[in-house]
Structure 1
Amino acid sequence: MSQKSVHVVPRGGKWAVRSSGAAKASKIVNTQDEAREIAREQAKRSGVELYVHGRNGRIRERNSYGKDPYPPKG
């Protein structure tokens, strides 16, 4: 089963990198930037979506590293 997305989420004053559907975070780091870089590499390797959440839990950034069903025209 392939993973569908990678998330950067706040976790007790730190930041976690978590795959959708996973019970545990794959990595917990001190800064959101560090977590974003780790998650970006995972998303690129797997060809999936990356979601970066803010401290309030809401999605603040989204990037697709898979096949885009609506690619830009031009």
Structure 2
Amino acid sequence: MNEAKKRQYAHLAQQLTLLRSNLERTAEQIDVMSKQCNNHLVGQLGKIHSSWFIGGNRCFEEEMLGGKK
């Protein structure tokens, strides 16, 4: 194999190592982001469901109290 091909393969190997390192860091960051989004989303869903329940309860009470007047 000539010297130019050896240099190109060495450079390619270096670039692939760098790519692998970047992909590992990206995967770690996506994992952290996913966990943060899930925690935030679960909290938001809890707030939404509780507000629907409270709003529905108030509406139902108003109908019941309004019907008795």
TM-score (norm 1): 0.23
Q: Which has the higher helix share?
A: 2
Higher Cα radius of gyration: 2
Q: Which has the higher strand share?
A: 1
Using CA pairs below 8 Å that are at least 6 residues apart, which structure has the higher relative contact order?
A: 1
TM-score (norm 2): 0.25
